[in-house]
Amino acid sequence: MTPTAAPAVTRLARDEWRARAEAHQQRADELTAAHRARSARGEKHPVWDFLFTYYSYKPATLRRWHPGPDVELAGAADDERAGWRWYVQGTEPGSLTVDRHGFGRDKASLARLIEIMLRRPAERAGRFDCFGLHEWAMVYRQHEHRHPVPLRLGQDATDAVVDTHELKCTHYDAFRFFTPDAVPRNQQAPTRETQPELDQPGCLHAGMDVYKWAVKLGPLVPGELLLDAFELARDIRLLDMEAAPYDLADWGVTPARIETPEGKAEYVRRQRAFAERGNDLRRRILDAWRPDDQRRTSASIAHAPATPAA
């Protein structure tokens, strides 16, 4: 069997990679400016804090630019990144490159999990019939709620919406917050162990999780991809809360009224667009991270099925 050629190495001049790093930091600062300002004032936000609390990554994490594997940074040996983990000397004197293989050795179990969680969901058909009812199931028949925000329809009418719909949540990290009365109403009982088999591209939470996996891969994910994943999580989070049962008018959030046919149609339209963006990011992350002889694992992601799974 003919061995696969080593991936080609891209060499970036010092001025070039420093300009990219500075542009990345500016973009990251713009994305987190409102959150940082609120934090400085001690203010909470029921929509956007989730991106920094549930995903417990600080704005500083977003600011750190990495070139990704197979990129050699000229003259980087005197840069602070020389002390960062998984950076090693490149082929040229004074250069640095990301140690893809060192990461694979040190984080073998994590790497295997992330590869599964990026690849498998994108190879499945998306499901687009849940209508965001997971948030409704989290307050079903329960007068004390996780978020100190009033319900848009009130408790009884909110419960009635759940009573007249099927719950079809496939994501464990949403399902685990269902109220006791909502749990048996769900079609499935997701667990952490079954998550690799149940996550699918139509799930908003699985789409937001692409950001989590990108962060966990550290320097193996180019900075531009990391910020793209954060932007996807941000955009999905807005729909997640627009479709939720909460009254967020004081926060400038217009509801996507999924209790109506029109609201359902809007939700599914946007959900499908997020599924496409999520799969594109999964493919790009896998292509940037995995060696050439393993990139075939992401080849099918570009054309993942868009119809609901049976």
C-alpha pair distances (Å), 187 with each of 131, 133, 135: 14, 12, 16
In a domain, 141, yes or no: yes
In a domain, 1, yes or no: no
In a domain, 181, yes or no: yes
Domain enclosing residue 200, as ranges: 10-303
Segment 3-48, tens digit of pLDDT: 455 568 899 999 999 999 999 999 999 999 999 999 999 999 999 9
In a domain, 2, yes or no: no
Segment 186-245, tens digit of pLDDT: 999 999 999 999 999 999 999 999 999 999 999 999 999 999 999 999 999 999 999 999
Q: Which region among 108-112, 144-148, 293-297 has the lowest average model confidence (pLDDT)?
A: 293-297
Segment 168-185, tens digit of pLDDT: 999 999 999 999 999 999
Q: What is the mean pLDDT of the chain?
A: 91
In a domain, 158, yes or no: yes
Q: Whole-angstrom Cα distance, residue 84 to residue 70?
A: 17
| 302 close to 285: Cβ distance less than 8 angstroms | no
Q: What's residue 144's pLDDT?
A: 80
In a domain, 175, yes or no: yes
132: left (phi over 0), alpha (psi -120 to 50) or beta: left
In a domain, 5, yes or no: no
In a domain, 308, yes or no: no
Total domains, the chain: 1
